Amino acid sequence: MSKIDKMSILGVRSFGIEDKDKQVIAFFSPLTVLVGPNGAGKTDAHETDVRAQIKLLFTDVNGEKVSIQRSMSCTQKAKNNTFKTTMKVSLSSKCGELDREMISSLGVSKPVLNNVIFCHQEESNWPLSEGKALKDKFDSIFAATKYIKALETMRQLRLKQSVTVKECQVELRYLKDNKEKAQQIRETVAKKEAQLMASKDSIQHIDGQIEPLENRLIEIDTKLGKVLRLDNDIRLLESRKKQMEQDNKELLETMEQVFQGSDQELQDVYQNHQRTVKDKERRLADCQKELERAGRECQRLNRVKADLLVEQGRLQLEADRQMQCIKTRDTQVRSLSSYLEMEGYDRSPFTALQLESFHRHVTQRLEQEKETFSQAMADLQEKEQQKQQSIDEMRDKKTGLERTVELKRDMQGKKQQELRSIRADLQRLEGSSTRLQELDNELTKAEHDLQSAVQSSNVEELKVEVEELQKEKSELDRTQRQLDQEMQTLNVHTTARTQMEMLKKDKLDKEEQIRKIKSRHNEDLVTLLGHFPNKRELEDWLYSKSKEINGTRDRLAKLNKDLASNEQNKSHTAAELRKKEQQLTSDEEKFFNVCGSQDLEQDLGKLQEDLEKASKQRAMLAGATAVYTQFISQLTEEREPCCPVCQRTFPSESDLQDVINDMQSKLRLVPDKLKNTEQDLKRKERKRDEMMALRPVRQSIVQVQEKELPELRNRLQTVNRDIERLKADVEKQETLLSRLMSEEDTAKSCLQDISLMDRYMMDLREVERKIAQQAAKLHGVDLNRTIQQVSQEKQETQHKLDTISSKMDLKRNLIQSQQDQIQMLKSEVNERKAEKLQLSSDMQKQQQLEEQCVEFTTEIQALTRDIREAKEQLAPLTAALEKLQQEKQSLMELKKQKQEEGREKVEHHSFVNPVSVCTRVSLTLNTIDGLSQKESELQETTTQLHEAEKQKEKINKEMGNIRQDIDTQKVQERLLQDNLTLRKREEELREVVAKHEALLKDIGNMQVLQLRQERRDVERKLEDLKKNRSIALGRQKGFEDEILHHRKELREDQYDKAEERYKNKMITMRTTELVINDLNLYYKALDQTIMKFHSMKMDEINKIIRDLWRSTYRGQDIEYVEIRSDVDENASAGVKRRVYNYRVVMVKGDTALDMRGRCSAGQKVLASLIIRLALAETFCLNCGILALDEPTTNLDRENIESLALALVDIIKSRSRQRNFQLLIITHDEDFVELLGRSSYIEHFYRIRKNQDQNSEIAKCSISSLSEQP
């Protein structure tokens, strides 16, 4: 059971918001009491829906500790306060999960938690609330709603399943018909497939006869084709011969001269001529090369000439620039000599000697600077190289040490790997002695098994049996061959017999089909026609029946038309009647709303009298204003006023003033009264107008009631009588039409089969004629032994052969199995022996492995030591290397600095360059003298170019002569080629003539006429066989079409998987019926269980209430109270729904009265408290917590004492429960003292406010109550 352990409160109402103000309550068991004056914050200590922070530690139903926390915040703004939780939304999934978790952890439902265990003082009297609220709370406590919904769901599901069963029954009727029809079609397909197989066998036999004839025809066609090819070759050769003769003739006509010598002489002449032509062509090529050389020489001389012209122009330009350079040089020399403090260079122009001297002095100064700079850079470079050499040596040494460490690590790893391998071998060899013993045992066992297998083997006997079976098989093979010969002999008459058998089968099929059709439709057709008709009789009957149906349909259409007209008339009349009734009701309502009665004239008269009175009243009030005003003025203006009505004087001034005041007050009331009177007058006038307007409405009401409504009702009754008569006639005609159409449909459904039967009868007569023809063909043939008999014997012999072969295979497999087993056992023995030898060898190596282990261990230790020493040497080397690299870097920076300084000095002395340029300019003045030399060279080049062009022209002339000679030789060469061609064609013509004569000889040896005659005979035989085959194929096509038709029909939706659908639907219906039965059982069981649970709980609750009331209540007017649950069974829609209505009654003797509204405040509080205690006793099995907030409210002292004693008794009876907790919140310290007299409470919590007006919780001893004065 769950219980609460501890709770902390911070910032709730009057509780402080600082951490020091946090109040903690540790709950006692079985009783915890919180005492304090009103407003101290007692109720806050058990409310959870508060503002600030509350933490609660409790024990759930599983005995585990659970802690929850609720945090809130309230922000003070300018005009109002804003409250929010610390979460971003007011209700999140976390809040919902927390509520569910609390309900699950406490082990009670939410209604019990809110209405029984923790119930606020303001809601503690809910058991005596009004009926609907009380019913909702009890239904939620009993959880009745969800059980009622469960019953309704089961009922709806049952109804739905019942509808499914009805649908399944309807579908099953159609599915059964489809299943039977599909089975019938399958039988027809099987029969047609058998006929198709027989037809295929016949075609196969014909194909066997056709194949050799076709092969012979192919041979003949091959020979005739060869003859045709020879004939074509002869014709081609003749044509070629004529063409060749024609070509030779044409060639002779074009030739100017025919060579008279031999072929060899002609060939020699032709070759000599070709050599001459080649020499000419070679000379032509040489001339071409010389021409190209001459051309290149001309081009070269042209380029030289152009270069000389360009050089001549350049030298002329240089001469012009020379004078400008000399001027610039002199200026620079003067400036530079002044900068370098050199004397003798103040005046220009300068001689060449002066310039040379100046250049020499400047160059010396520049060389001196460069030499100084080079020496400094050489020193720095040498130091840098020394540092680099030291760094390289240090780096090499470090690299060597690192490489040594790496190599030794690799060696160490390899040694360790080998050591692990050796240790693994040693570990494996530790159990080798045991394994060796095991191997001895296994080897002994394997040898024993091998010996047993050899002894139990019967391989030789099996081999003898196999030989005997082989002999028997040879005998059966011989028998089989004899049967094959007999079958071949019988196949001579296969075609005729097959046709005879097929025709007989076809006859039986036709007769069976006719019989089935007659048996299927005999009853229906005899009933309809009186006899079994043929197709013509049935068609005539259908024609007459169709005419009768059409007539009936016409009569029915006329009746339906009349019925529709009357129905429409009825609808129109009924609509008009409803319209009149609605109009009457509307007019009566309008009339009643205005008049209030049915007597319009009387009401109108009364209203007219009221109008007259109101008019008089308005006139009087309208005149009263003037009268009262005149009276007041007279009384105030005259010296001795008197009464304006009676003319009497007033005894005193006060009386006069009273009269004036009275008139003024009445005058002030006149406008309001006048306004009210006018409004009343207008309202009555409007009502009079409305009533005057109702006079036509009254007349309309009288007209409708007395005349129109009775006429419409009479018309409606007449139309209804006509409709009933027409419906009866329509039903009669529809019945007749249904019967006629049923008979017509029955006859039409038979018509197709009758037509098919007529066709079957015609086919039957044709088959009988063919059977007679085949019987005539087979007359005199002895067919006592049929092919089927021989085939049956062959099958039996083949079956015996298969059986013997199976036995032989079985024996051979058994022999092989035994041999394999013996071989396997031998292999196992050998493996064990080999393993034993290997193990013995390994054990001999154990000492060697142990030595290797010690050796590797020593080497690994040495390598580890070397690696450690190398690492120790690496550290100082690394530091020294870094130091050297830093020194080198410093030298490089110094070198860079020196280089920069030297570069600046060299640039500063770069004045030497322009001087040297000017010096060069002065030294090139001799180029002006070379200008005349270039002109002479140009003249010489022009002369050479002229000579080269003459040589080129000479070569061109020689090449023209050579080309002309070559053309002449080509003509002679063509003549020689024509003579060679003529000699070659004549040789080919002789070869063609010889081949033509050989082909004529070959074609004469072939018997062409005999081959063609044989081909005609073979074609005639083939045509007859193919004709028979076509007939058989046509029959086979018919069978295939019928099979395809039936199979297509089977693939239709109604027949495809018809049996499976029928079975599935039947299963569905049966299982659904079982489901319905189960739902009925479950519905009744759950309904009875709910009734029993409710009755049992109510009895238990009322017993507890009765006991608690009698032990608590001290009055004599009520013996006990109890909760009555009245059952309200509403049978709407045929469904009984049980609804409980709850009320609390008080009983005295045999009289029971509802407590609500009949009891005092104290009785109300006590009854509600006792009912909560009873509900907690009944429904809080997993939660022993109950909180009572101000239970003594409105109770007198006697009942307070009895309540305390009753609570003590409850605590006493429940104290045995470890998790029982009763929380009492009260301000009545006397009540607490009464509770403290028991042994179940030693301490209580007192809640009061401190000096900061913050609530504080203090734990006090129960004895402190008695000590207070």
Annotated binding site for Zn(2+): 643, 646
Give the separation between CA 248 and CA 266, rounded to whole angstroms: 18
Amino acid at 786: T
State how far the Cα of 819 lies from the Cα of 29, in Å rounded to an integer: 88
Bridge partners of 75?
82
Report the 10 Å Cβ neighbour count for 358. 21
Q: Residue 1259 — left, alpha, or beta (φ > 0 → left; ψ -120 to 50 → alpha)?
A: beta
Q: Are 1108 and 1214 in contact (CB under 8 A)?
A: no
How far apart are the C-alpha atoms of 1037 and 1088, rounded to whole Å? 73
Binding positions: 643, 646
631 contacts 661 by C-beta, under 8 angstroms: no
- Is 1112 buried (19+), middle (13-18) or exposed (0-12) by CB count in 10 A? buried
* Residue 1131 DSSP one-character state: -
Q: Which residues have CB under 8 Å from 914's CB, separation 6+?
A: 332
How does 379-391 read in b/e, with b if 16+ C-beta sit within 10 Å?
Answer: ebeeebeebeebb
Under DSSP, the state recorded for 79 is S
* Integer Cα distance of 727 and 736 in angstroms: 14
* Phi, psi dihedral angles at 655 (to 5 degrees): -65, -40
Stretch (H or E) spanning 1078: helix 1058-1112
Separation CA 246–CA 240 (nearest Å)? 10
Answer yes or no: are the C-beta atoms of 172 and 1069 closer than 8 Å. Answer: yes
Number of H helices, E strands in the chain: 23, 13
Query: How far is 787 from 781, CA to CA, in rounded Å?
Result: 14
Give the whole-angstrom CA distance, residue 1019 versus residue 1022. Answer: 5
C-beta of residue 833 within 8 angstroms of C-beta of residue 443: yes
- Give phi and psi for 1129, each to the nearest 5: -95, 110
Q: What separation in angstroms does the CA of 1021 have from each of 924, 1018, 1076?
A: 122, 5, 77
Whole-angstrom CA distances from 321 to 348, 377, 846, 921 are: 19, 42, 106, 10
Measure the CA angle with vertex 1101, ends 1100 and 1107; round to 5°.
Answer: 90
How far is Cα 246 from Cα 238, in angstroms, rounded to an integer? 12
CA 471/CA 387 separation, integer angstroms: 107
* Short-list 313, 321, 345, CA closest to 331: 345
Q: Quick one: which of 677, 571, 585, 580 has its CA closest to 624?
A: 677
Neighbouring-strand partners of residue 59: 3, 65
Q: At what angle do helices 352-430 and 787-844 cross, to 10 degrees?
A: 100
Dihedral sign for Cα 955, 958, 960, 966, please: negative
- Please choose, from the candidates 924, 931, 916, the residue with its C-alpha nearest in 3D space to the C-alpha of residue 321: 924
Q: Give the other-Cβ count within 10 Å of 372's Cβ.
A: 12
Is residue 921 within 8 Å of 359, Cβ to Cβ?
A: no
Torsion of CA 864, 865, 868, 874, to 10 degrees: -120
CB 127 within 8 A of CB 134: yes
- ∠ CA(699), CA(702), CA(705), 5° rounding? 150
